[in-house]
Structures are given as C-alpha cells and as structure tokens.
C-alpha cells in the first residue's frame, strides 16, 4: 500500500490547510490522523474548557472528512512512536503537518522531523496558523521585537497577500484504512456535566467558525472600532476560539474583512495575535517568567489565596469584575476589555502573581492560547512585552461606569443586582439600607462587600512597585 499521512494537530479544517493541500497534491491516498498526546505539551496541556472545544471540533471534522470520503484515524501515545507504527501499517512514504509554535511543540517537531528524515521519509511542515513565521521578522539590529507598533509596521510592510486555499472536494482514501480508536476514548469531555453553558454559547468546528466570521463581517465589522470596548454589545468578532483551534485561518479572516469599513482597526488585533506568537517563539520561558527580570523579585501578597478564590468565583464585590468571571465560568470566554479589568484587580489590588491568573484562564477559556494568554497577563502585570506600566491600575468602578454605563452587562451576569439603580450598579455598597431593601439585595448577604479597599490596595501596590525598583 502506498499513501501519505496528514498529521492533524491544531489545524482542524479542510479550507486553507497547506499540509492537507500538499498531501492531496501527491496524488496518493491520504491518511488523516489525530494523535492524542497531551503529555508532550508538558505543564501546558490543554485545560478543561479547551478540551471540550477540541472534542466538539474533532467531532465536526470527523464528519466532514467522512463526507469527503476519508475516515479520520484517532490514535493515542507518543507522536513519534504512533507515526512509526502508522508508517509500518500503511507503507506511507511522506508525512505532512502544519506547525505549532509553543516551545514544547517546536522541540518535539524538530526531533520527529530529524528522525523520520533519517528513515528516508519525506517530511514537510507548513505555516497554517499565522500571517508570518515568528522567526522571519527582525528589528533593525537583528533582534526580536518587544514593542508592538514597530513589529506591526514591519509585518504589514512585508505581508504578501494571498488567497485562502480551497477545500478538497474529495479525498482519496487507502483501500484498507488503518485501524482507529474512537474520539470518545480520548476522554476530552468533562466527566461531570458542567459544560452546558459552553454548549449553549458556541458551535465548535469549521462550519461554526465560518458562520461566525460571516456574521461579524456583515453585522459587526463596521462598528467594531466604536463598540469593541463595550461588553454588553456584540461588538467584537469572538473568533479567537476558532482561530486557536485552527478551524479558520488568519488568511481567511483577512480575506473576508479586507477593504471593508472598520477593517483596519480589526486587522490590527490580528497583529497582536502575531506579536504574541513572535514573543513566545523568541522567549520560550514567557509563560512562566516575566520578560522584565526585575519582576522576579516583586513582593506579591503572600496571603492571597482566599482573595484569589473570591476572584475565581466572581465574588469580589466589584460588579464588572464578577460579571466577567461568571461569564468566563459559564461560557468559557470573556470580553477583552473585561479581561483587562479583572486582571488588573487580581495583579494590582489583590496583588496575586500574574501566573495565578494565567493558570485560571488557561483552564477555563475555550480560546486558551499560550502565546496570547501569556502576553495578556504579563501586559496586565506590567512585566511583559509592550506591557502597561505596573502603576497603571484600572479602577473597576470607573471602568464599569465608562464601558457599561447602564449596567446591562453586569445585570445580565449578576441577576442579584438587576434591581439596583443605575447610579449604584458599579458600586452597590454605596446604597443605604433603605435602598438595598427597596431593590431586594443586601450587600454582604446577597452580594459580597468589596474584598479590598481600592484606594488602600492601590497605594500598597505602588509601594510594592517602589520596593522592587529600589532593589
């Protein structure tokens, strides 16, 4: 039997898939294989919410491949060992895959490519996830970028636009496809049924991603720049889960929005995604260590565990923070403006280390992406690439009043506050006893009092920053 192997990883789509296109172009039967090997990601194996999405996405892709005439093979175990067994079983002469850019994946793929090349196999990898390879952009002095704006200027100056690749209408399958395990055997779904909110919020898979892209292009793109900071509006693309899992490509997004009103501001956000991967590629310790080494000595609050738990449960007493954390728990996603607000409260007012927030997001976000998550949390902590200064501390009351002025977002996620008057919706502790009775909520009983004093905790954060600088 002669065939080629298409090794799927986080490129769960048929459209604009360079590895698939290369495999089909050989004219040989194609064996699509998905290898479940979470241990190869080290400490950054996908979290629970991302695994739920992964299952649903693989379910959709399995059906799409069946419709195209090819079964999807599921295997478990070490990737190199599994690939070698498949080569023996099928007589495959070549393997094609699309690259991942996390440090553990880069090291694994380099080793697999070297060993399979030594066996005489054709092994090719492709860029299917980014507009530009992280290694291909350098500063004028030949280094890597740490500031977004010059990075973005360089990227757009070198960006050669291309049309997304079409999906193959039919795939040639081997006469006797190799044996496959089942998707259920990968045990990606939670054993306890907590994912109902995720299922109600999302449609994982390529079809769901393309539908969301079309909806955003027609209904949200033109108003994106005006509405992107307003969490109660459907003003952002919310494409990040489909991009992360590879169900749509950035080239498809770019092709869909290019030359449309509002495109410039939105495409810039794709640039931030590219920047995050550039930084992670050049600084492999970025998920764990601050890019600014001074922050390795930052005096984080030692007794933050109880406050961290309140933050995780959406019980801090600051409505826009709690609304965001409950949105996260229910849907596996949070509006970007609110992500910045909740991160600021945790890292600066509570003074818990940014790594604790990053870990919680990693487990609860359906779009948990190592590059983006690390960039966002180091930005909030003031210690990363192009980070906000540590002394820039968001006031959650003012942020709520500015970006959720009528409290629509807060009241959606915090039903206990639905009767609170607008002037108190972001500071409900300011109500008198009579006002609390009138709107049916008792602060400290039905909704928590603030876990920190904003003014005092801000002063403590600034003092901690001064101590670090003095050291």
pLDDT in 10s for each residue of the chain, 471 residues: 589 999 999 999 999 999 999 999 999 999 999 999 999 999 999 999 999 999 999 999 999 999 999 999 999 999 999 999 999 999 999 999 999 999 999 999 999 999 999 999 999 999 999 999 999 999 989 999 999 999 999 999 988 889 999 999 999 999 899 999 999 999 999 988 899 999 999 999 999 999 999 999 999 999 999 999 999 999 999 999 999 999 999 999 999 999 898 899 999 999 999 999 999 999 999 999 999 999 999 999 999 999 999 999 999 999 999 999 999 999 999 999 999 999 999 999 999 999 999 999 999 999 999 999 999 999 999 999 987 788 889 999 999 999 999 999 999 999 999 999 999 999 999 999 999 999 999 999 999 999 999 999 999 999 999 999 887
Q: What Å distances lie between residue 449 and 308, 428, 443, CA to CA? A: 15, 9, 6
Single out the residue of 94, 54, 92 nearest to residue 74, CA to CA.
54
Q: Please, what is the Cα angle at 213 between 211 and 214, to 5 degrees?
A: 65
At 72 the three-state DSSP class reads coil
CATH architecture for the domain at 293-470: Orthogonal Bundle (1.10)
Report the percent of the chain where pLDDT is more than 70. Answer: 100
Query: Under CATH, what is the fold of the domain 4-128?
Result: Rossmann fold (3.40.50)
Class of 130-163+205-282 in CATH: mainly alpha
What torsion, rounded to 10 degrees, do the Cα atoms 412, 413, 415, 416 define?
A: -140
Q: How far apart are the first and last CA of the chain?
A: 67
Q: Provide the pLDDT for residue 92.
A: 96
Contact status, residue 312 vs residue 446, Cβ threshold 8 Å: no
Kindly give, in sequence order, each residue whose CB lies less than 8 Å from that of residue 44, ignoring residues fewer than 6 positions away: 102, 104, 287, 362, 370
Single out the residue of 232, 270, 274 nearest to residue 252, CA to CA.
270
**pLDDT tens digit string along 256-272?**
999 898 899 999 999 99
Tokens of residue 416, six digits? 């206990």
Q: Please, what is the Cα angle at 8 between 375 and 184, to 5 degrees?
A: 100
Q: Provide the pLDDT for residue 313.
A: 98
Domain ranges of the chain: 4-128, 130-163+205-282, 293-470
Q: Provide the pLDDT for residue 1.
A: 58
């Amino acid at each position: 039997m002669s065939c080629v192997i298409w090794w799927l990883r986080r490129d769960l789509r048929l459209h604009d898939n360079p590895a698939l296109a290369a495999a089909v172009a050989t004219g040989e039967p194609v064996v699509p294989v998905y290898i479940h090997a979470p241990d190869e990601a080290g400490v950054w194996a996908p979290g629970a919410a991302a695994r739920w999405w992964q299952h649903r996405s693989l379910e959709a892709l399995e059906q799409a491949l069946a419709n195209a005439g090819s079964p999807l093979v599921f295997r478990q175990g070490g990737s190199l060992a599994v690939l070698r067994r498949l080569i023996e079983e099928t007589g495959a002469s070549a393997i094609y895959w699309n690259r991942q850019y996390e440090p553990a994946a880069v090291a694994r793929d380099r080793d697999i490519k070297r060993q399979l090349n030594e066996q005489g196999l054709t092994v090719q990898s492709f860029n299917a996830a980014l507009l530009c390879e992280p290694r291909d952009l350098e500063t004028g002095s030949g280094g890597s970028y740490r500031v977004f704006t010059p990075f973005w200027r360089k990227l757009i100056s070198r960006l050669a636009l291309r049309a997304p690749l079409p999906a193959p209408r039919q795939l040639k399958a081997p006469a006797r496809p190799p044996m496959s395990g089942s998707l259920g055997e990968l045990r990606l779904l939670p054993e306890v049924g907590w994912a109902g909110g995720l299922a109600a919020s999302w449609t994982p898979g390529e079809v769901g991603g393309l539908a969301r892209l079309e909806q955003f292009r027609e209904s949200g793109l033109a108003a994106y720049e005006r509405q992107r900071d307003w969490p109660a509006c459907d003003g952002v693309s919310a494409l990040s889960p489909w991009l992360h899992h590879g169900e749509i490509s950035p080239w498809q997004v770019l092709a869909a929005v290019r030359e449309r009103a509002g495109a410039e501001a939105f495409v810039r956000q794709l640039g931030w995604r590219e920047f995050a991967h550039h930084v992670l590629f050049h600084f492999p310790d970025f998920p764990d260590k601050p890019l600014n080494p001074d922050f390795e000595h930052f005096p984080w609050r030692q007794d933050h565990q109880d406050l961290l738990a309140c933050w995780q449960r959406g019980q801090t007493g600051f409505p826009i923070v709690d609304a965001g954390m409950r949105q996260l728990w229910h849907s596996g996603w949070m509006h970007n403006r609110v992500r910045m607000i909740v991160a600021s409260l945790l890292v600066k007012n509570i003074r818990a280390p940014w790594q604790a927030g990053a870990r919680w997001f990693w487990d609860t976000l359906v779009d948990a992406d190592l590059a983006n998550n690390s960039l966002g949390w180091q930005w909030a902590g003031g210690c990363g690439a192009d980070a906000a200064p540590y002394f820039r501390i968001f006031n959650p009351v003012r942020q709520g009043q500015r970006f959720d002025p009528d409290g629509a977002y807060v009241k959606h996620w915090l039903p206990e506050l639905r009767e609170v008057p607008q002037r108190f919706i972001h500071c409900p502790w300011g109500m008198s006893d009579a006002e609390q009775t009138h709107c049916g909520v008792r602060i400290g009983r039905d909704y928590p009092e603030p876990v920190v004093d904003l003014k005092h905790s801000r002063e403590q954060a600034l003092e901690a920053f001064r101590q670090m600088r003095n050291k």
